[in-house]
Amino acid sequence: MAGLAMGYPMPQARGGNPDTSTLYDINGLAKDAPGWLDHTMEFIGEYGIVLGLAVLMVLAWWSLRRRQDAPAAVAALLWAPLAAGLALLVNVPIRGFVKRPRPFIDHTGLEVLVKGKTDYSFVSDHATLTMAIGVALFVANRKYGLIGIGLAFLEGFCRVYMGVHYPTDVIGGLALGTAVALLLAPLAMMALTPLTRAIARTRAAWLVRSAGPVAAAPPPLVAAEATDAGRETPRHRDNDLAA
């Protein structure tokens, strides 16, 4: 098995705490898994999902630039990495206040797939970051957002599987990422939408609007908003929240 094996836990190590028992149940899968699977889960949990979300954001950007309300949609997309960074900053004092040790420090018998984790456990940075991106993507586009949220839940599972977080560390991270991305989204849109609309009127318009007949000669902003509103389809209203 990959990582740090410390033997199977004694029955009393589990106790009656559902947080601890769930940790042992999920992490126990790593004990029974072949080494290649543990290495795969280690890569996915440490880097793979974050890279996957980056690719997802690029795909979303390419798609949202083709919408008639492209500047507003791209503004919502820009909020995703900003929300993730802000959520991680909010987590700094939370970790310092709670000061919860990593599970392998207080419990024996865990298969730890990643060595060198010496910081506090609550809440999970990885779960916080991925969920903030997923929820912010949902604000921009439901399809990409649902994929991102699914990846965030997979990230949380990986962190427990790897033995570096309790389930409640993950739940706290998912909740923190969701709260930051949703609660501050209106303020973010107020700040970012004028910026992307201004960019749309410059030579860098391709960053926020796809090249084409609509983007080649954009009408004045007020007229463009009226035109976009008139062309809005039920599918856009149903799928996207950014506008």
Token pair listed for 56: 């997802």
Residue 49's contacts (CB-CB under 8 Å, 6 or more residues apart) are: 126, 130, 151, 152, 154, 155, 158
Residue 100 lies in a domain: yes
User: pLDDT under 50 in the chain at which residues?
Assistant: 1-13, 213-239, 241-243
Asked if residue 102 lies in contact with residue 117, where contact means CB atoms within 8 angstroms, the answer is yes
> What is residue 114's predicted lDDT score, i.e. its pLDDT?
86
| E strands, the chain, in order | 4-5, 111-112
pTM assigned to the model: 0.78
What residues make up the domain containing 28? 21-188
pLDDT score for 230:
46
Residue 2: inside a domain, yes or no?
A: no
Instruction: Please indicate, yes or no, if residue 15 is contained in any of the structural domains.
Output: no
Contact indicator for 133, 53 with CB cutoff of 8 Å = yes
pLDDT of residue 4: 40
- What was the pLDDT predicted at 191? 94
Within 10 Å of residue 77's Cβ, how many Cβ atoms? 26
> Count of domains in the chain?
1
Domain membership of residue 8 (yes or no) is no
Q: Are the CB atoms for 152 and 133 separated by under 8 Å?
A: yes
Q: What is the structure's pLDDT at 212?
A: 53
Q: What is the pLDDT of residue 66?
A: 87
Between CA 73 and CA 80 the distance in angstroms is: 12
Asked if residue 170 belongs to a domain, the reply is yes
**Residue appearing with tokens 């062309």:** 231
DSSP string of 84-129? HHHHHHHHHHHHHHH-PPPHHHH-SS-EESS----S--SSPHHHHH
151 in a domain, yes or no?
yes
Q: Is residue 118 part of a domain?
A: yes
Residue 148 lies in a domain: yes
Joined together, the tokens standing for residue 221 give 């902003």
Give bridge partners of residue 5 from the DSSP assignment. 111
Residue 57: the pLDDT is: 95
